């Protein structure tokens, strides 16, 4: 039976592109490639091995801090700052963390392996998180491969978009956000494979690891309504998990829940946010407005998700809608830290976007990365730091990069199927025998 061209190729109405020197990754397999190398297992193993690359790059970026400590202004000028060493100090001091309950719990568990105090303990804690991150990226690579084996076997090499994403190295080892990312991606995979109860459990845990995951829950619900898929088991898993975790938080002291909420409510617009621009221009947002701005941003994001589902040529793919929603939430958030890229990178790999799209966005993240630290350092040393006007420029460039992802997804969702219909010549021949049910991808929803 003749294989169908890859979905990306059928959109243009042309045959699959030939291998070229600049298309080494993501191109067609060579004629002498073994069948095992092109299998889902072979690709997953290769991606897992490559998972070490972003971890090594992240450690390299923080080499000066690992040798000289994370205190003082040095980490800002050396562009190696991390929240993890300061979180260790709070843990050792039996203080509540500003992280949500699940993330804070994992951070405390990892801290149990750290002995002593001071700079050596901080370095050890960051190195332990490097190991945790290595495991997490490997799990994400396997989840992405499994997702595409279910949705579109021709795209099962998409895990390479994650492990080779330049933005991953800049976002890792700053915080423990990777915990929520793994839970969220696993939840999307479970929903895609019609494991509704585990999907609810995983996404419920992800919500209590980072609030960003809540938009993914909304995406699942919206798509389920659009495709008339039952939500009972999913909502049962979601609600049960949230209830159990809140009960555990209550048993250990409500501070694990109330501290992050109180800090969110009392926060001011922070780095990376559109809401910070008035402050950079010398006109700070009035006190008390920040949480309402954040809630308004979420309302706009949900409205745009509903709009995109309504105008779509066909029901959007789960990963595409998830990436669109996450990008909009970040653009309208009152805080967009560097590590927010961790939430976008795996969704890009799960989506229908191309290597070019990933690299354009990742380029803006890499460009922004040193600028935010130089600006923060300049708050205490204006003569050395980045001026507010220049920081505002790089902030906008980064948000435009995130907006580019949302635009490209919206374009694919609205017109992708229509373009495929305009090129009937590119469609594969209909086989004489219907393909096995194991190879037919079911629609998302």
What does the pLDDT look like over 162-221, one tens digit per residue? 999 999 999 999 999 999 999 999 999 999 999 999 999 999 999 999 999 999 999 999
Rounded CA-CA distance 294/269 in Å is 9
In a domain, 320, yes or no: yes
CA pair distance 206, 391, nearest whole angstrom: 32
At 80, which helix (H) or strand (E)? Answer: none
Percent pLDDT > 70 in the chain is 83
Residue 436 is assigned to a structural domain of this protein: no
Residue with tokens 């072979």: 42
Burial state string for 44-77 with b = 16 or more CB within 10 A and e = fewer than 16: bbbbbebbeebbeebbebbebbbeebbeeeebbb
pLDDT band at residue 6, thresholds of 50, 70 and 90? very low
**Pair 239, 126 in one domain:** no
Same domain, 104 and 232: no
Asked whether residue 10 is assigned to any structural domain, the reply reads no
Q: Of 155, 170, 185, which one is at a domain's C-terminal end?
A: 170
Domain span at 349 = 265-418
Would you place residue 15 in the very low, low, confident or very high pLDDT band (cuts 50, 70, 90)?
Answer: very low
What was the pLDDT predicted at 257? 78
Q: What is the pLDDT of residues 72-128, one digit of tens each?
A: 889 999 999 999 999 998 888 778 888 899 999 999 999 999 987 788 899 999 999
Residues 413 and 294 in one domain: yes
The rounded radius of gyration (Å) of the Cα atoms in the chain is: 22
DSSP 3-state assignment of 200? Answer: helix
Whether residue 139 has pLDDT greater than 90:
yes
Work out the mean pLDDT of the chain and round it to a whole number: 85
The answer to whether residues 237 and 111 belong to one domain is no
Residue 436: which pLDDT band, with cuts at 50, 70 and 90?
very low
Q: Which residue has the tokens 């495929």?
A: 420
Look at residue 4 and tell me whether its pLDDT is greater than 70.
Answer: no
Position 43 in a domain: yes
Residues 301 and 249 in one domain: no
Task: Let me know whether 211 and 337 are in one domain.
Answer: no
Q: Is the pLDDT of residue 10 over 60?
A: no
Structure tokens at 253: 């002291």
Residue 31 lies in a domain: no
Q: For the residues of 269-300, what is the DSSP string, one character each?
A: --TT-GGGHHHHTT-PPPTT-HHHHHHHHHHH
Q: Cα separation of 95 and 256, whole Å? A: 10
Half-sphere exposure for 322 (CA within 13 Å, toward CB): 31
Burial class (CB in 10 A: 0-12, 13-18, 19+), 399: buried
pLDDT value at position 318? 95
Residue 21: inside a domain, yes or no?
Answer: no
- Whether 11 maps to a domain, the answer reads no
Residue 425 lies inside a defined structural domain of this protein:
no
Give yes or no for residue 432 having a pLDDT over 70.
no
Per-residue pLDDT at 437 exceeds 50: no
Does residue 49 sit in the same domain as residue 161? yes
pTM for the complete prediction? 0.85
Band of the pLDDT at 38, cuts 50, 70, 90? low
Q: Is 286 exposed, middle or buried (0-12, 13-18, 19+ CB in 10 A)?
A: exposed
- Give the number of C-alpha atoms closer than 13 A to the C-alpha of residue 403, restricted to the C-beta side: 11
Count structural domains, the chain.
Answer: 3
pLDDT for res 431: 46
Write out pLDDT tens, residues 232-290. Answer: 999 999 999 999 999 998 888 777 778 888 888 888 889 999 999 999 998 888 878 99
Q: What is the pLDDT of residue 58?
A: 96
- 133 with 274, same domain: the answer is no
Q: Are residues 374 and 297 in the same domain?
A: yes
Specify whether 248 is located in the same domain as 281: no
């Amino acid at each position: 039976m003749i294989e169908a061209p890859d979905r990306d190729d059928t959109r243009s109405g042309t045959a699959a592109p030939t291998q070229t020197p600049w298309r080494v990754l993501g191109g067609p397999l060579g004629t002498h490639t073994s069948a095992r190398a092109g299998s889902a297992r072979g690709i997953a193993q290769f991606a897992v091995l490559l998972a070490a690359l972003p971890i090594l790059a992240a450690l390299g970026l923080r080499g000066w801090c690992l040798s000289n400590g994370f205190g003082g202004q040095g980490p800002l000028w050396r562009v190696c700052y991390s929240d993890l060493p300061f979180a260790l100090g709070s843990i050792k001091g039996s203080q509540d963390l500003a992280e949500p309950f699940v993330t804070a719990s994992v951070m405390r568990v990892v801290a149990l392996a750290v002995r002593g105090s001071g700079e050596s303990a901080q370095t050890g804690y960051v190195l332990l998180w490097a190991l945790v991150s290595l495991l997490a990226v490997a799990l994400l690579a396997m989840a992405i491969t499994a997702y595409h084996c279910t949705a579109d076997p021709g795209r099962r090499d998409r895990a390479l978009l994650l492990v080779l994403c330049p933005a991953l190295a800049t976002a890792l080892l700053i915080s423990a956000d990777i915990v929520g990312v793994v839970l969220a991606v696993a939840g999307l995979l479970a929903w895609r494979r019609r494991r509704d109860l585990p999907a609810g459990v995983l996404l419920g845990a992800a919500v209590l690891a980072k609030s960003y995951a809540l938009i993914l829950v909304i995406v699942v619900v919206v798509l389920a309504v659009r495709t008339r898929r039952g939500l009972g088991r999913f909502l049962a898993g979601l609600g049960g998990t949230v209830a159990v975790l809140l009960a555990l938080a209550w048993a250990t002291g409500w501070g694990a829940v109330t501290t992050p909420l109180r800090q969110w409510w009392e926060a001011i617009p922070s780095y990376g946010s559109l809401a910070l621009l008035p402050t950079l221009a010398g006109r700070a947002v009035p006190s008390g407005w920040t949480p309402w701005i954040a809630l308004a941003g979420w309302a706009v994001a949900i409205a745009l998700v509903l709009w995109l589902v309504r105008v779509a040529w066909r029901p959007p793919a789960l990963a595409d809608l998830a990436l669109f929603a996450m990008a909009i939430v970040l653009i309208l958030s009152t805080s967009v830290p560097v590590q927010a890229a961790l939430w976008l990178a795996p969704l890009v790999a799960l989506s229908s976007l191309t290597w070019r799209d990933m690299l354009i966005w990742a380029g803006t993240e890499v460009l922004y990365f040193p600028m935010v630290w130089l600006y923060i350092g300049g708050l205490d040393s204006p003569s050395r730091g980045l001026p507010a006007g220049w920081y505002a420029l790089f902030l906008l460039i980064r948000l435009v990069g995130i907006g580019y992802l949302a635009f490209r997804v919206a374009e694919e969702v609205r017109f992708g199927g229509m373009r495929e219909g305009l090129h009937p010549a590119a469609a594969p021949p209909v086989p004489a025998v219907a393909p096995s049910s194991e190879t037919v991808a079911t629609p998302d929803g």
